[in-house]
C-alpha cells in the first residue's frame, strides 16, 4: 500500500523530533499502522535549517499554504503554535479535506469549538494528543479508556517548567526568582516564561481535558488562571511541615451546578503519588465513578516525548481514517450534537480547603479572635501551626488549614481577619486538595 503522506508545518524542536522518530522507527510504525507514514513536505520560514534538520531528504517549502492545499497530502501536522497563522492554516487544511494533527493547546483551548465544527462538516479528524501532557496518552485515556465513567474530577501537573521550579524551590529552599534563572539556564524555562509561570499553558491544557471529560465545549475564557510567581519559599516550607507539597495543578471538577476549571498552586498531601512527581515530569490524576482514581505519568515536553504523541495520532488517523465519520472517536469524546453547555463556575464559587498564613502579634486572645471569625463564616479548622516567636520578637506566624468550604466565605473571613489590629500582615491564602 502507498505510504500515507504527511505535510509538516513548522520544524522546530517537536518537528525535528517527529521527523527523527518517524525515520528511526519507520519499520515498527509501519507494522503497527498497516501503512508507511511519510513526511512528504515540510513548510518552514527558515528553509535552510529545515533542510539541515531533515538531512535534505524531504521537500522544503517556505509557504505553509502550499502544504495545506496540496492534493497528495493526507494529513497536515501543525507545529507552528499560537493562535494566529496556525488557526488559519488548520482551517484551510480542513477545508481542503486534510486530517490534522496538532500539538497546539493554545489554539484548541481558544478556537477549538470552531475548528472541531469545521472538521465535522468536512468529515476529517483533528487529533491533538500532543497538546496535553506531551508523551502521556491522556487524551486517549479520557476519550476512550474511561468512557464508562461519570468523570468527577481531574487534577494534573501539566506544566513541566513550573513543576521543575517548585521541586527546586522545595529541595533547595530557594526563592522563585533564583530558581527561575537556574531553570532558564538549564533550558527548563524559556526566555519568556510568562505562559508557563503564570499558569496559562496549564490552563489551556486543563480546558481541553475538561471539555473531554464532561462533554462540553472548550471554555478557556472562563478558566481561573493563577501561576507560581507569587509563591514564597516560606509557604513551601510550612506546607512541608504540615505534611503537604505545593504543586501547580490544573483542576477541573464536575458539580451539580456546573464545572470548576482552575489552575493555581495547590497543597497536596505528601503521601499521594502525584505529590511525588518531581522535576519536569507531568502527571494527571482522574477520578471516575466506576474506576476510582487512575494516574498517568510521564514526560510532558521535549522533542521526542511530544513527537511520540504526534506520531501516535498519525497512526490513529492511518488506521481509522477510512471509517465513516459518524463511527470514529468524537473529537471531544462525546458526539458533537451531545455536548452540553455546562456552566463554568466563577472562582468565588469553588469548593476547596485552604491554607492561611498570617503574621500576628504574640498576644493573648489573637487566636481566639481569628478562630471566632472563621467559625462565624462557617469555616471549620482542620489543623493549625503556630510558630514559636523568636527570642524577644513580639510577632509570630500562624498557619491554619481549613476543611472544604466555599471560596467566597474564605475571602470574606480573610477580609475580617486582616482588619484585626493584632494581625500584622496580609493573609497568604493557598488552596489545598486532598485528591481522594
Contact with a copy of itself (CB under 8 A) among 296, 350, 366, 417: 296
3-state secondary structure of 192: coil
CB of 17 to a copy of itself, least distance (A): 8
Contact with a copy of itself (CB under 8 A) among 168, 235, 316, 407: 316
Q: Is 291 in the site for a copy of itself (CB under 8 A)?
A: yes
Binding residues for a copy of itself restricted to 140-179, rule: CB under 8 A: 140-141, 144-150
Per 3-state DSSP, the chain is made up of helix, strand and coil in percentages (nearest 5) of: 40, 25, 35
How many residues bind a copy of itself (CB under 8 A)? The answer is 67
Cell of 341: 453547555
Segment lying near a copy of itself (by CB under 8 A), choices 90-98, 161-169, 287-295, 389-397: 287-295
Contact with a copy of itself (CB under 8 A) among 61, 174, 329, 367: 329
- Which of residues 116 and 334 has its CB atom nearest to a copy of itself in the complex? 334
Segment lying near a copy of itself (by CB under 8 A), choices 193-201, 299-307, 403-411, 414-422: 299-307
Please, how many CA atoms are within 13 Å of residue 151, restricted to the half-sphere of its CB? 28
CB 196 within 8 A of CB 161: yes
The packing angle between helices 105-122 and 200-214, to 10°, is 40
Q: Is 121 in the site for a copy of itself (CB under 8 A)?
A: no
Beta strands in 108-243 (DSSP E): 126-127, 151-157, 224-225
Least Cα distance to 418 among 378, 369, 376, 384 occurs for: 369
CB 153 within 8 A of CB 254: yes
Cell of 288: 471516575
Selecting among 98, 140, 205, 247, the annotated active-site residue is 205
Taking the C-alpha atoms of residue 118 and residue 111, their distance in angstroms, rounded to an integer, is: 11
At 100, give phi and psi (nearest 5°). Answer: -125, 135
Q: Is 218 in the site for a copy of itself (CB under 8 A)?
A: no
The packing angle between helices 13-24 and 303-320, to 10°, is 60
Contact with a copy of itself (CB under 8 A) among 13, 36, 65, 294: 294
- Which of residues 40 and 312 has its CB atom nearest to a copy of itself in the complex? 312
Least Cα distance to 345 among 431, 231, 256 occurs for: 256
Segment lying near a copy of itself (by CB under 8 A), choices 55-63, 157-165, 216-224, 298-306: 298-306
**DSSP string covering 106-143, please?**
HHHHHHHHHHHHHHHHHT--EE-GGGSSTTS-HHHIII
Asked if 416 is an active-site residue, the reply is no
Contact with a copy of itself (CB under 8 A) among 13, 25, 178, 411: 25
The packing angle between helices 26-33 and 13-24, to 10°, is 80
Taking the C-alpha atoms of residue 369 and residue 365, their distance in angstroms, rounded to an integer, is: 6
Show the binding pattern over residues 173-212: x = contacts a copy of itself (CB under 8 A), - = does not: ----------------------------------------
Contact with a copy of itself (CB under 8 A) among 39, 86, 259, 312: 312
Binding residues for a copy of itself restricted to 59-118, rule: CB under 8 A: none
Contact with a copy of itself (CB under 8 A) among 23, 49, 122, 321: 321
Contact with a copy of itself (CB under 8 A) among 128, 305, 355, 435: 305
Binding residues for a copy of itself restricted to 266-285, rule: CB under 8 A: 273, 276-277
Least Cα distance to 436 among 278, 241, 271 occurs for: 271
Which residues would be at the binding site for a copy of itself (CB under 8 A)? 17, 21-22, 24-25, 28-34, 129, 134-137, 140-141, 144-150, 215, 273, 276-277, 288-299, 304-305, 307-312, 315-316, 319-324, 326-330, 333-335, 338
Which residues are designated catalytic? 205
Amino acid at each position: 500500500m502507498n505510504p500515507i503522506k504527511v505535510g509538516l508545518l513548522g520544524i522546530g524542536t517537536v518537528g525535528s523530533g517527529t521527523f527523527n522518530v518517524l525515520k528511526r522507527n519507520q519499520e515498527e510504525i509501519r507494522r503497527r499502522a498497516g501503512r508507511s507514514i511519510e513526511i512528504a513536505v515540510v513548510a518552514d520560514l527558515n528553509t535552510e535549517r529545515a533542510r539541515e534538520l531533515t538531512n535534505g531528504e524531504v521537500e522544503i517549502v517556505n509557504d505553509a499554504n502550499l502544504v495545506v492545499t496540496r492534493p497528495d497530502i493526507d494529513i497536515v501536522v501543525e507545529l507552528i503554535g499560537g493562535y494566529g497563522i496556525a488557526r488559519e492554516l488548520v482551517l484551510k487544511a480542513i477545508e481542503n479535506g486534510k486530517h490534522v494533527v496538532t500539538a497546539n493547546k493554545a489554539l484548541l483551548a481558544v478556537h477549538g469549538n470552531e475548528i472541531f465544527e469545521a472538521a465535522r462538516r468536512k468529515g476529517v479528524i483533528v487529533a491533538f494528543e500532543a497538546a496535553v501532557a506531551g508523551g502521556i496518552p491522556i487524551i486517549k485515556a479520557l476519550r476512550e479508556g474511561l468512557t464508562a465513567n461519570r468523570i468527577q474530577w481531574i487534577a494534573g501537573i501539566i506544566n513541566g517548567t513550573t513543576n521543575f521550579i517548585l521541586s527546586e524551590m522545595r529541595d533547595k529552599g530557594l526563592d522563585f526568582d533564583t530558581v527561575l534563572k537556574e531553570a532558564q539556564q538549564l533550558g527548563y524555562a524559556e526566555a519568556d516564561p510568562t505562559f508557563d509561570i503564570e499558569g496559562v499553558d496549564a490552563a489551556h491544557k486543563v480546558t481541553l481535558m475538561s471539555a473531554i471529560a464532561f462533554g462540553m465545549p472548550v471554555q478557556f475564557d472562563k478558566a481561573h488562571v493563577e501561576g507560581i510567581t507569587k509563591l514564597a519559599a516560606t509557604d513551601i516550607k510550612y506546607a512541608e511541615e504540615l505534611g503537604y507539597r505545593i504543586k501547580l495543578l490544573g483542576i477541573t471538577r464536575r458539580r451539580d451546578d456546573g464545572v470548576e476549571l482552575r489552575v493555581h498552586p495547590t497543597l497536596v498531601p505528601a503521601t499521594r503519588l502525584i505529590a511525588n512527581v518531581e522535576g519536569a515530569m507531568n502527571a494527571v490524576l482522574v477520578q471516575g465513578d466506576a474506576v476510582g482514581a487512575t494516574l498517568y505519568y510521564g514526560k510532558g515536553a521535549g522533542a521526542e516525548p511530544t513527537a511520540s504523541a504526534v506520531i501516535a495520532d498519525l497512526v490513529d488517523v492511518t488506521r481509522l481514517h477510512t471509517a465513516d465519520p459518524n463511527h470514529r472517536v468524537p473529537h471531544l469524546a462525546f458526539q458533537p450534537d451531545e455536548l452540553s453547555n455546562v456552566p463554568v463556575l466563577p472562582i468565588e464559587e469553588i469548593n476547596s480547603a485552604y491554607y492561611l498564613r498570617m503574621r500576628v502579634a504574640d498576644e493573648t486572645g489573637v487566636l481566639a479572635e481569628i478562630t471566632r471569625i472563621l467559625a462565624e463564616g462557617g469555616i471549620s479548622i482542620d489543623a493549625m501551626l503556630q510558630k514559636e516567636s523568636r527570642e524577644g520578637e513580639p510577632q509570630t506566624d500562624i498557619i491554619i488549614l481549613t476543611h472544604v468550604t466555599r471560596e467566597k466565605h474564605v475571602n470574606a473571613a480573610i477580609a475580617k481577619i486582616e482588619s484585626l489590629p493584632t494581625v500584622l500582615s496580609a493573609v497568604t491564602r493557598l488552596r489545598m486538595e486532598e485528591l481522594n
